[in-house]
């Protein structure tokens, strides 16, 4: 294991530098200090803190390991006294040692109080975990997507047959749009899911042409539904990849992303994230690259949780209540406070991931 660990940071750096995503290992974080905070931001932070507590307590139920809080735990928000200094110090830290993970895991035999406060102590860790939270129930989401996709498949098949079984519509399509006819005739439903589609210009000079066009347009709409992302994901930002790599270069501790949903939690190694996202043939299958508002419009890698390991099989919905935060200039924000931490660790998964 020691030999593997000694090579770990070199393997990660090789993957980062050879990634087709062109990760900037020399990135320097520069940004204006935020001056205002929103209720949504505070609620998301509360949810993230709850997720970290779930993982922390679940790991510490295992007598072989000790989980230690390591990431920044400051409760300051934009607009609070001292936030400007905190924010600037955090940026300096990112630019020097990289992004600290939320938790460090030590073998119980190696642990002593305060071990995470020194560089040599941190290097004794056998794992570092970045904890993320997501506002979904995995099982309900999967059931919904399965039903959505099946309804789209059934509707495509129904519409195709309604065209082929109508001699007039069949003949019109075959004569006027032979390429579309060929696709509908020879493409399996699974192939539509995998990305096959076609171009179609509406026809409207007769009632039959209008009817045919409506059916084709609905088929295209169903195909589009089938090709939408239908999986929950673990979502490292491209910018964070570089900052995590910087931390690994300094401390050489194996790094993991762990996503806590409201019923389950999944884990994947940082090394696997780099391997999966470096394979173009896996894009759209195991991962996607997206930019969305929830991640400040930054480029984000979305790894299908079905390509990760289930680490906590049962997460209990937390107690939750409205709280109020009064800002210095008199503005009042209401947000959600999460309490209660209950998660049951898949210890065999933890063992296999760490070892």
Q: Give just the sign of the alpha carbon dihedral 294, 295, 297, 303.
A: negative
Q: Does domain 2-135+232-354 have CATH number 1.10.8.60?
A: no
Q: What is the pLDDT of residue 152?
A: 95
| 3 state SS of 314 | strand
* Whole-number pLDDT of residue 2: 46
Distance CA 281, CA 291 (A): 20
Tokens coding 302: 């979305």
**Tokens of residue 265, six digits:** 């939690």
Q: Rounded to the nearest 5°, which phi and psi values hold at 219? A: -60, -45
Segment 40-73, tens digit of pLDDT: 888 988 999 999 999 998 899 888 999 999 987 7
Whole-angstrom distance, CA of residue 317 vs CA of residue 301: 27
Tokens read off for 219: 């088929």
Query: What is the DSSP secondary structure assignment for residue 321, as one 8-state letter?
Result: E
**Residue 286's closest CA among 225, 232, 237?**
232
Alpha helices in 106-206 (DSSP H): 119-122, 138-164, 167-176, 178-186, 189-194
The CA distance from 12 to 252, in Å, is 10
Please report where in the chains the tokens 């999460």 appear, as a residue: 338
Dump pLDDT digits (tens) for 253-293. Answer: 999 999 999 999 999 999 999 999 999 989 988 999 988 66
Name the stretches of the chain with pLDDT < 70: 1-6, 292-297, 341-344, 347
pTM of the model: 0.87
**Pick from 52, 12, 11, 63: nearest CA to 351:** 63
Contact between 52 and 69 under an 8 Å Cβ cutoff? The reply is yes
How wide is the angle at C-alpha 287 spanned by C-alphas 283 and 290, nearest 5°?
90
Domain ranges (residues) in the chain: 2-135+232-354, 140-226
């Amino acid at each position: 294991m020691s030999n593997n660990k000694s090579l770990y940071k070199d393997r990660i750096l090789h993957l980062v530098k050879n990634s087709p995503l062109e990760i900037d290992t020399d990135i320097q974080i520069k940004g204006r200090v935020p001056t205002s905070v929103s209720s949504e931001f505070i609620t998301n932070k509360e949810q993230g803190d709850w997720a970290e507590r779930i993982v922390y307590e679940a790991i510490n139920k295992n007598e072989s390991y000790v989980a230690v809080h390591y990431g920044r735990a400051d409760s300051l928000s934009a607009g609070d006294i001292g936030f400007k200094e905190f924010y600037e110090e955090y940026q300096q830290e990112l630019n020097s040692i990289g992004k600290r993970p939320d938790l460090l895991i030590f073998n119980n035999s190696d642990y002593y109080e305060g071990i995470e406060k020194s560089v040599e102590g941190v290097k004794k860790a056998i794992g570092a975990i970045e904890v993320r939270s997501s506002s979904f129930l995995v099982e309900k989401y999967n059931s919904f997507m399965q039903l959505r996709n099946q309804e789209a498949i059934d509707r495509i098949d129904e519409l195709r047959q309604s065209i082929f079984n109508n001699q007039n519509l069949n003949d019109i399509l075959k004569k006027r749009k032979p390429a579309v006819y060929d696709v509908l005739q020879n493409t399996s439903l699974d192939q539509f899911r995998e990305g096959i589609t076609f171009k179609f210009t509406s026809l409207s000079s007769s009632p039959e042409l209008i009817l045919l066009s409506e059916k084709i347009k609905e088929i295209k709409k169903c195909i589009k539904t089938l090709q939408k992302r239908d999986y929950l994901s673990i979502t490292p930002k491209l910018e964070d990849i570089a900052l995590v790599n910087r931390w690994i270069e300094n401390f050489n501790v194996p790094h993991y992303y762990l996503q806590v949903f409201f019923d389950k939690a999944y884990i994947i190694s940082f090394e696997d994230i780099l391997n999966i996202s470096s394979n173009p043939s896996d894009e759209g299958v195991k991962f996607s690259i997206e930019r969305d508002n929830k991640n400040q419009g930054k480029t984000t890698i979305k790894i299908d949780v079905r390509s990760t390991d289930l680490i906590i099989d049962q997460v209990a919905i937390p107690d939750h209540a409205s709280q109020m935060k009064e800002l210095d200039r008199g503005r009042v924000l209401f947000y959600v406070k999460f309490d209660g931490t209950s998660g049951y660790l898949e210890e065999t998964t933890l063992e296999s991931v760490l070892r």
